[in-house]
Amino acid sequence: MSVQPATPGPLTVRTVEIDHPGDLISRLPGPGISWVRRGEGMVAWGEVARLDTAGTYRIDEADAWWRRVTRHAVVRDDVHAPGTGLIAFGSFAFADSSPAGGALIVPRYVLGVHGDTAWLTVISEDGAIDLPGLDGATANATPVAPMPPVTIADGDREAWATAVTSAVGRIGAGELDKVVLARAVPAAAQTPIDARAVLARLADDYPSCWTFAVDGLMGATPELLARVDHGLVTSRVLAGTIRPTGDETADLAHAAALARSSKDREEHEYAVRSVRDVLEAHCGSVNVPEEPSVLHLPNVMHLATDVTGVLSHNASALELIRELHPSAAVCGTPTLTAARVIDELEGLDRARYAGPVGWINAAGDGEWCIGLRSAEVSAADPTRLRLFAGCGIVAASEPDSEWAESEAKLEPMRRALGAS
Protein backbone atom coordinates (compact mmCIF):
# COMPACT_ATOMS: atom_id res chain seq x y z
CA MET A 1 0.00 0.00 0.00
CA SER A 2 1.41 3.40 -0.99
CA VAL A 3 1.70 6.16 1.60
CA GLN A 4 -0.53 9.13 0.90
CA PRO A 5 1.49 12.35 0.54
CA ALA A 6 0.90 14.88 3.31
CA THR A 7 -1.64 17.60 2.55
CA PRO A 8 -1.09 21.15 3.82
CA GLY A 9 -3.63 22.79 6.08
CA PRO A 10 -6.39 24.87 4.47
CA LEU A 11 -4.91 27.49 2.15
CA THR A 12 -6.19 31.06 1.92
CA VAL A 13 -6.02 32.72 -1.48
CA ARG A 14 -6.62 36.28 -2.64
CA THR A 15 -6.44 37.52 -6.23
CA VAL A 16 -6.73 41.22 -7.03
CA GLU A 17 -6.50 43.18 -10.25
CA ILE A 18 -3.46 45.44 -10.63
CA ASP A 19 -2.04 47.81 -13.19
CA HIS A 20 -0.24 46.16 -16.09
CA PRO A 21 3.23 45.19 -14.79
CA GLY A 22 5.01 45.30 -18.13
CA ASP A 23 7.28 42.42 -19.06
CA LEU A 24 6.45 39.52 -16.76
CA ILE A 25 9.83 37.81 -16.64
CA SER A 26 11.55 41.09 -15.77
CA ARG A 27 9.31 41.34 -12.66
CA LEU A 28 10.53 38.07 -11.16
CA PRO A 29 12.32 39.18 -7.98
CA GLY A 30 14.62 36.16 -7.98
CA PRO A 31 14.58 32.47 -8.88
CA GLY A 32 11.03 31.40 -9.56
CA ILE A 33 8.52 29.96 -11.96
CA SER A 34 7.73 31.14 -15.50
CA TRP A 35 4.83 30.36 -17.82
CA VAL A 36 4.81 33.07 -20.49
CA ARG A 37 3.73 33.19 -24.14
CA ARG A 38 3.37 36.29 -26.33
CA GLY A 39 3.80 38.47 -23.23
CA GLU A 40 0.90 36.81 -21.41
CA GLY A 41 0.84 34.15 -18.73
CA MET A 42 2.29 34.03 -15.25
CA VAL A 43 5.42 34.23 -13.18
CA ALA A 44 5.48 33.03 -9.57
CA TRP A 45 7.81 32.91 -6.59
CA GLY A 46 7.91 31.63 -3.04
CA GLU A 47 6.56 28.24 -1.98
CA VAL A 48 3.53 27.56 0.24
CA ALA A 49 3.08 23.84 -0.42
CA ARG A 50 4.77 21.17 -2.48
CA LEU A 51 4.30 17.57 -3.50
CA ASP A 52 7.26 15.47 -4.64
CA THR A 53 6.32 12.18 -6.21
CA ALA A 54 7.84 9.44 -8.34
CA GLY A 55 7.06 6.21 -10.13
CA THR A 56 4.32 4.95 -12.39
CA TYR A 57 1.55 6.75 -10.50
CA ARG A 58 3.31 10.10 -10.04
CA ILE A 59 0.69 12.08 -11.98
CA ASP A 60 -2.22 10.21 -10.36
CA GLU A 61 -0.74 11.00 -6.92
CA ALA A 62 -0.38 14.65 -7.90
CA ASP A 63 -4.00 14.78 -9.09
CA ALA A 64 -5.29 13.21 -5.85
CA TRP A 65 -3.12 15.51 -3.70
CA TRP A 66 -4.30 18.60 -5.61
CA ARG A 67 -7.94 17.63 -5.15
CA ARG A 68 -7.37 17.40 -1.40
CA VAL A 69 -5.54 20.76 -1.34
CA THR A 70 -8.30 22.56 -3.22
CA ARG A 71 -11.20 20.97 -1.31
CA HIS A 72 -10.79 23.10 1.81
CA ALA A 73 -9.10 26.19 0.36
CA VAL A 74 -10.66 29.61 0.97
CA VAL A 75 -10.41 31.55 -2.27
CA ARG A 76 -11.41 35.13 -3.04
CA ASP A 77 -10.80 35.86 -6.71
CA ASP A 78 -11.73 39.33 -8.01
CA VAL A 79 -10.45 38.69 -11.54
CA HIS A 80 -11.65 35.26 -12.78
CA ALA A 81 -9.18 34.86 -15.64
CA PRO A 82 -7.19 31.76 -16.67
CA GLY A 83 -4.56 31.33 -13.96
CA THR A 84 -6.19 33.36 -11.18
CA GLY A 85 -7.21 32.04 -7.77
CA LEU A 86 -5.54 28.95 -6.31
CA ILE A 87 -2.98 27.53 -8.71
CA ALA A 88 -0.12 25.05 -8.76
CA PHE A 89 2.73 24.57 -11.23
CA GLY A 90 4.25 21.20 -11.98
CA SER A 91 6.62 19.11 -14.03
CA PHE A 92 6.99 15.35 -14.34
CA ALA A 93 9.67 12.97 -15.56
CA PHE A 94 9.34 11.40 -18.98
CA ALA A 95 9.82 7.84 -17.75
CA ASP A 96 8.07 5.99 -14.92
CA SER A 97 11.42 4.67 -13.70
CA SER A 98 13.23 8.02 -13.62
CA PRO A 99 14.39 9.19 -10.19
CA ALA A 100 13.51 12.72 -11.35
CA GLY A 101 9.88 11.86 -10.48
CA GLY A 102 7.68 14.93 -10.44
CA ALA A 103 6.62 17.93 -8.41
CA LEU A 104 3.54 20.07 -7.92
CA ILE A 105 4.27 23.47 -6.36
CA VAL A 106 1.89 26.02 -4.83
CA PRO A 107 3.70 29.40 -4.89
CA ARG A 108 3.39 32.30 -2.47
CA TYR A 109 2.88 34.94 -5.15
CA VAL A 110 1.59 34.74 -8.72
CA LEU A 111 1.78 37.69 -11.12
CA GLY A 112 -0.29 37.25 -14.26
CA VAL A 113 -1.43 38.94 -17.45
CA HIS A 114 -4.28 37.92 -19.75
CA GLY A 115 -5.15 40.38 -22.49
CA ASP A 116 -5.55 43.80 -20.88
CA THR A 117 -6.07 42.30 -17.41
CA ALA A 118 -3.28 41.90 -14.86
CA TRP A 119 -3.44 40.43 -11.39
CA LEU A 120 -1.53 39.50 -8.28
CA THR A 121 -2.40 36.39 -6.29
CA VAL A 122 -1.22 35.87 -2.72
CA ILE A 123 -1.47 32.39 -1.15
CA SER A 124 -1.10 31.71 2.57
CA GLU A 125 -1.00 28.53 4.62
CA ASP A 126 -1.76 30.24 7.96
CA GLY A 127 -5.03 32.01 7.10
CA ALA A 128 -3.47 35.49 7.10
CA ILE A 129 -3.44 37.35 3.80
CA ASP A 130 -1.35 40.49 3.49
CA LEU A 131 -1.89 42.33 0.19
CA PRO A 132 1.42 44.12 -0.21
CA GLY A 133 0.87 45.18 -3.81
CA LEU A 134 3.37 44.25 -6.50
CA ASP A 135 6.07 46.55 -5.19
CA GLY A 136 5.75 45.02 -1.74
CA ALA A 137 5.75 41.48 -3.08
CA THR A 138 8.98 42.17 -4.96
CA ALA A 139 10.60 44.32 -2.25
CA ASN A 140 13.44 41.86 -1.75
CA ALA A 141 14.24 41.56 -5.47
CA THR A 142 17.81 40.78 -6.45
CA PRO A 143 19.37 42.11 -9.68
CA VAL A 144 19.59 39.69 -12.58
CA ALA A 145 23.10 38.27 -12.65
CA PRO A 146 24.95 38.68 -15.96
CA MET A 147 25.28 35.57 -18.07
CA PRO A 148 28.59 33.84 -17.30
CA PRO A 149 30.64 32.11 -20.00
CA VAL A 150 29.09 28.73 -20.79
CA THR A 151 30.83 25.78 -22.44
CA ILE A 152 28.54 23.34 -24.25
CA ALA A 153 29.76 19.94 -25.43
CA ASP A 154 29.42 18.92 -29.07
CA GLY A 155 27.81 15.56 -28.39
CA ASP A 156 28.69 12.06 -29.53
CA ARG A 157 27.79 11.89 -33.20
CA GLU A 158 29.01 8.32 -33.62
CA ALA A 159 26.85 7.03 -30.76
CA TRP A 160 23.86 8.91 -32.23
CA ALA A 161 24.38 7.35 -35.68
CA THR A 162 24.57 3.91 -34.11
CA ALA A 163 21.33 4.44 -32.18
CA VAL A 164 19.45 5.81 -35.21
CA THR A 165 20.68 2.99 -37.47
CA SER A 166 19.64 0.40 -34.91
CA ALA A 167 16.21 2.00 -34.54
CA VAL A 168 15.66 2.05 -38.30
CA GLY A 169 16.63 -1.62 -38.42
CA ARG A 170 14.09 -2.50 -35.76
CA ILE A 171 11.42 -0.54 -37.58
CA GLY A 172 12.29 -2.32 -40.82
CA ALA A 173 11.99 -5.66 -39.02
CA GLY A 174 8.43 -4.77 -37.97
CA GLU A 175 9.17 -4.41 -34.26
CA LEU A 176 7.62 -0.93 -34.17
CA ASP A 177 6.53 1.90 -36.45
CA LYS A 178 8.25 4.92 -34.88
CA VAL A 179 10.55 5.72 -31.99
CA VAL A 180 11.72 9.09 -30.68
CA LEU A 181 15.40 9.18 -29.72
CA ALA A 182 16.86 11.99 -27.64
CA ARG A 183 20.30 13.45 -27.00
CA ALA A 184 21.52 15.03 -23.76
CA VAL A 185 24.36 17.53 -24.17
CA PRO A 186 26.25 18.61 -21.04
CA ALA A 187 27.10 22.25 -20.41
CA ALA A 188 29.13 24.04 -17.75
CA ALA A 189 29.04 27.69 -16.68
CA GLN A 190 31.83 29.52 -14.87
CA THR A 191 29.35 30.71 -12.21
CA PRO A 192 25.75 29.75 -11.36
CA ILE A 193 23.31 30.79 -14.09
CA ASP A 194 20.47 33.19 -13.28
CA ALA A 195 17.50 31.56 -14.99
CA ARG A 196 15.85 34.97 -15.45
CA ALA A 197 18.52 35.97 -17.98
CA VAL A 198 17.98 32.76 -19.93
CA LEU A 199 14.19 33.09 -19.86
CA ALA A 200 14.32 36.69 -21.08
CA ARG A 201 16.35 35.64 -24.13
CA LEU A 202 14.06 32.70 -24.87
CA ALA A 203 10.94 34.86 -24.62
CA ASP A 204 12.44 37.45 -26.99
CA ASP A 205 13.59 34.85 -29.54
CA TYR A 206 10.56 32.53 -29.39
CA PRO A 207 7.48 34.59 -28.46
CA SER A 208 5.05 32.01 -29.90
CA CYS A 209 6.44 29.28 -27.60
CA TRP A 210 5.74 28.82 -23.89
CA THR A 211 8.77 30.14 -22.02
CA PHE A 212 8.79 28.04 -18.88
CA ALA A 213 10.78 27.39 -15.74
CA VAL A 214 9.48 24.88 -13.21
CA ASP A 215 11.56 23.06 -10.60
CA GLY A 216 14.90 23.04 -12.42
CA LEU A 217 13.68 22.59 -16.00
CA MET A 218 13.56 25.65 -18.25
CA GLY A 219 13.02 26.19 -21.93
CA ALA A 220 10.75 27.46 -24.69
CA THR A 221 8.44 24.71 -25.85
CA PRO A 222 6.17 24.89 -28.92
CA GLU A 223 4.10 21.80 -28.09
CA LEU A 224 0.85 21.96 -26.11
CA LEU A 225 0.02 18.61 -24.53
CA ALA A 226 -3.39 19.67 -23.19
CA ARG A 227 -5.22 22.87 -22.36
CA VAL A 228 -8.47 22.42 -20.41
CA ASP A 229 -10.74 25.46 -20.17
CA HIS A 230 -14.36 25.11 -19.00
CA GLY A 231 -14.86 21.75 -20.70
CA LEU A 232 -12.93 22.53 -23.88
CA VAL A 233 -9.69 20.64 -24.43
CA THR A 234 -6.98 21.44 -26.97
CA SER A 235 -3.79 19.60 -27.85
CA ARG A 236 -1.23 20.80 -30.40
CA VAL A 237 0.69 17.98 -32.06
CA LEU A 238 4.08 18.70 -33.61
CA ALA A 239 5.96 16.01 -35.51
CA GLY A 240 7.86 16.30 -38.76
CA THR A 241 10.60 18.92 -38.89
CA ILE A 242 12.75 20.85 -41.34
CA ARG A 243 15.31 23.58 -40.72
CA PRO A 244 14.68 26.99 -42.35
CA THR A 245 17.36 28.68 -44.44
CA GLY A 246 16.54 32.32 -43.63
CA ASP A 247 15.61 32.96 -47.26
CA GLU A 248 11.87 33.68 -47.33
CA THR A 249 11.26 32.33 -50.84
CA ALA A 250 13.30 29.20 -50.24
CA ASP A 251 11.61 28.59 -46.89
CA LEU A 252 8.15 28.79 -48.44
CA ALA A 253 9.24 26.05 -50.84
CA HIS A 254 10.71 24.05 -47.95
CA ALA A 255 7.47 24.39 -45.99
CA ALA A 256 5.52 23.06 -48.98
CA ALA A 257 7.98 20.18 -49.30
CA LEU A 258 7.60 19.40 -45.59
CA ALA A 259 3.83 19.28 -45.96
CA ARG A 260 4.22 16.77 -48.83
CA SER A 261 7.01 14.66 -47.32
CA SER A 262 5.86 11.07 -46.89
CA LYS A 263 8.45 10.49 -44.13
CA ASP A 264 7.35 13.53 -42.12
CA ARG A 265 3.65 12.97 -42.78
CA GLU A 266 3.98 9.39 -41.52
CA GLU A 267 5.72 10.56 -38.34
CA HIS A 268 3.09 13.25 -37.83
CA GLU A 269 0.12 10.95 -38.34
CA TYR A 270 1.34 8.55 -35.65
CA ALA A 271 1.49 11.43 -33.17
CA VAL A 272 -1.94 12.81 -34.10
CA ARG A 273 -3.54 9.39 -33.81
CA SER A 274 -2.11 8.81 -30.32
CA VAL A 275 -3.64 12.10 -29.08
CA ARG A 276 -6.96 11.61 -30.85
CA ASP A 277 -7.44 8.14 -29.36
CA VAL A 278 -7.04 9.48 -25.80
CA LEU A 279 -9.32 12.47 -26.30
CA GLU A 280 -12.06 10.36 -27.89
CA ALA A 281 -12.33 8.42 -24.62
CA HIS A 282 -13.07 11.64 -22.72
CA CYS A 283 -14.90 13.83 -25.24
CA GLY A 284 -18.31 13.74 -26.81
CA SER A 285 -16.80 15.17 -29.98
CA VAL A 286 -13.23 15.53 -31.25
CA ASN A 287 -12.11 17.63 -34.19
CA VAL A 288 -8.98 16.74 -36.15
CA PRO A 289 -8.16 18.87 -39.22
CA GLU A 290 -7.77 16.83 -42.40
CA GLU A 291 -4.39 18.36 -43.19
CA PRO A 292 -1.60 19.61 -40.90
CA SER A 293 -0.38 23.18 -41.06
CA VAL A 294 3.26 24.26 -40.98
CA LEU A 295 4.41 26.04 -37.82
CA HIS A 296 7.26 28.46 -38.54
CA LEU A 297 9.78 29.05 -35.74
CA PRO A 298 13.12 30.83 -36.01
CA ASN A 299 15.09 27.58 -35.80
CA VAL A 300 12.75 24.95 -37.28
CA MET A 301 9.50 24.40 -39.15
CA HIS A 302 7.11 21.71 -37.91
CA LEU A 303 4.04 19.97 -39.19
CA ALA A 304 1.33 20.99 -36.70
CA THR A 305 -2.20 19.82 -35.95
CA ASP A 306 -4.49 21.29 -33.29
CA VAL A 307 -6.78 18.55 -31.97
CA THR A 308 -9.79 19.89 -30.05
CA GLY A 309 -12.65 18.31 -28.14
CA VAL A 310 -15.54 18.91 -25.75
CA LEU A 311 -15.24 16.92 -22.53
CA SER A 312 -18.12 14.56 -21.80
CA HIS A 313 -17.30 14.43 -18.08
CA ASN A 314 -15.42 16.41 -15.45
CA ALA A 315 -11.83 15.41 -16.23
CA SER A 316 -9.01 17.48 -14.74
CA ALA A 317 -6.01 18.62 -16.73
CA LEU A 318 -3.80 16.24 -14.72
CA GLU A 319 -6.09 13.32 -15.50
CA LEU A 320 -5.81 14.05 -19.22
CA ILE A 321 -2.05 14.53 -19.32
CA ARG A 322 -1.59 11.29 -17.41
CA GLU A 323 -3.28 9.50 -20.31
CA LEU A 324 -1.80 11.62 -23.09
CA HIS A 325 1.77 11.16 -21.90
CA PRO A 326 3.83 9.90 -23.57
CA SER A 327 2.38 10.70 -26.97
CA ALA A 328 3.92 9.32 -30.14
CA ALA A 329 5.50 12.76 -30.66
CA VAL A 330 7.98 12.12 -27.82
CA CYS A 331 7.94 8.32 -27.47
CA GLY A 332 6.78 6.41 -30.55
CA THR A 333 4.32 3.79 -31.80
CA PRO A 334 3.37 1.37 -30.30
CA THR A 335 4.01 3.24 -27.06
CA LEU A 336 5.21 0.38 -24.83
CA THR A 337 7.50 -1.05 -27.50
CA ALA A 338 8.90 2.40 -28.28
CA ALA A 339 9.56 3.05 -24.58
CA ARG A 340 11.49 -0.20 -24.33
CA VAL A 341 13.55 0.63 -27.42
CA ILE A 342 14.31 4.08 -25.97
CA ASP A 343 15.59 2.41 -22.79
CA GLU A 344 17.79 0.10 -24.85
CA LEU A 345 19.20 2.61 -27.36
CA GLU A 346 19.29 6.06 -25.79
CA GLY A 347 21.69 5.47 -22.94
CA LEU A 348 20.44 8.37 -20.78
CA ASP A 349 17.85 9.35 -18.21
CA ARG A 350 15.70 12.05 -19.82
CA ALA A 351 14.62 13.16 -16.33
CA ARG A 352 11.86 15.73 -16.93
CA TYR A 353 12.80 16.48 -20.53
CA ALA A 354 9.85 15.58 -22.79
CA GLY A 355 7.62 15.15 -19.75
CA PRO A 356 4.53 17.26 -18.93
CA VAL A 357 5.13 20.77 -17.57
CA GLY A 358 2.45 23.35 -16.79
CA TRP A 359 -0.16 24.54 -14.31
CA ILE A 360 -3.56 23.63 -12.88
CA ASN A 361 -6.21 25.65 -11.01
CA ALA A 362 -8.71 24.71 -8.33
CA ALA A 363 -11.36 23.76 -10.91
CA GLY A 364 -8.99 21.30 -12.60
CA ASP A 365 -8.50 23.53 -15.65
CA GLY A 366 -4.98 24.27 -16.76
CA GLU A 367 -2.37 24.31 -19.48
CA TRP A 368 0.31 21.66 -19.88
CA CYS A 369 3.01 21.45 -22.51
CA ILE A 370 5.73 18.95 -23.32
CA GLY A 371 9.07 20.01 -21.83
CA LEU A 372 10.99 20.43 -25.09
CA ARG A 373 13.70 22.88 -26.28
CA SER A 374 14.84 22.77 -22.70
CA ALA A 375 17.71 22.46 -20.26
CA GLU A 376 17.91 20.84 -16.84
CA VAL A 377 19.87 22.70 -14.19
CA SER A 378 21.64 20.40 -11.75
CA ALA A 379 20.16 20.63 -8.27
CA ALA A 380 23.55 19.68 -6.80
CA ASP A 381 25.61 22.15 -8.86
CA PRO A 382 23.87 25.16 -10.47
CA THR A 383 26.80 25.68 -12.82
CA ARG A 384 26.01 22.35 -14.55
CA LEU A 385 23.26 21.81 -17.11
CA ARG A 386 22.03 19.27 -19.61
CA LEU A 387 20.51 20.42 -22.91
CA PHE A 388 18.11 18.08 -24.69
CA ALA A 389 16.85 17.44 -28.19
CA GLY A 390 14.94 14.55 -29.72
CA CYS A 391 13.97 13.30 -33.17
CA GLY A 392 11.25 10.98 -34.42
CA ILE A 393 12.77 7.98 -36.17
CA VAL A 394 10.77 6.16 -38.86
CA ALA A 395 11.71 3.74 -41.62
CA ALA A 396 13.05 6.48 -43.91
CA SER A 397 15.20 8.21 -41.26
CA GLU A 398 18.92 8.79 -41.88
CA PRO A 399 21.47 9.45 -39.11
CA ASP A 400 22.94 12.59 -40.69
CA SER A 401 19.61 14.31 -41.27
CA GLU A 402 18.41 13.39 -37.78
CA TRP A 403 21.63 14.80 -36.30
CA ALA A 404 21.04 18.05 -38.20
CA GLU A 405 17.47 18.17 -36.89
CA SER A 406 18.63 17.63 -33.31
CA GLU A 407 21.23 20.39 -33.72
CA ALA A 408 18.47 22.77 -34.85
CA LYS A 409 16.39 21.85 -31.81
CA LEU A 410 19.33 22.55 -29.49
CA GLU A 411 19.73 26.04 -30.93
CA PRO A 412 17.20 27.86 -28.69
CA MET A 413 18.96 26.87 -25.47
CA ARG A 414 22.44 27.31 -26.92
CA ARG A 415 21.60 30.81 -28.03
CA ALA A 416 19.88 31.67 -24.73
CA LEU A 417 23.03 30.58 -22.91
CA GLY A 418 25.13 32.81 -25.13
CA ALA A 419 26.90 29.90 -26.75
CA SER A 420 25.88 30.36 -30.41
| 3-state secondary structure string across the chain | CCCCCCCCCCCEEEEEEECCCCCCHHHCCCCCEEEEECCEEEEEECCCEEEEECCCCHHHHHHHHHHHHHHCCEEEECCCCCCCCCEEEEEECCCCCCCCCEEEEECCEEEEEECCEEEEEEEECCCCCCCCHHHHHCCCCCCCCCCCCEEECCCCHHHHHHHHHHHHHHHHCCCCCEEEEEEEEEEEECCCCCHHHHHHHHHHHCCCCEEEEECCEEEEECCEEEEEECCEEEEEEEEEEECCCCCHHHHHHHHHHHHHCHHHHHHHHHHHHHHHHHHHCCEEEEECCCCCEEEECCCCEEEEEEEEEEECCCCCHHHHHHHHCCCCCCCEECHHHHHHHHHHHCCCCCCCCCCEEEEEECCCCEEEEECCCEEEECCCCCCEEEEEEEEEECCCCCHHHHHHHHHHHHHHHHHHCCCC
* Catalytic residue, candidates 47, 61, 223, 411: 223
Q: What is the pLDDT of residue 1?
A: 36
Position 226 scores a pLDDT of 97
Its pTM stands at: 0.94
pLDDT at position 260: 80
Q: What is the pLDDT of residue 300?
A: 84
Is residue 178 annotated as a catalytic residue, yes or no? yes
pLDDT value of position 245: 72
Q: Is 223 designated active site? A: yes
Catalytic residue among 178, 267, 376, 402: 178
Q: Point out the residues of the chain with pLDDT beneath 70.
A: 1-6, 420
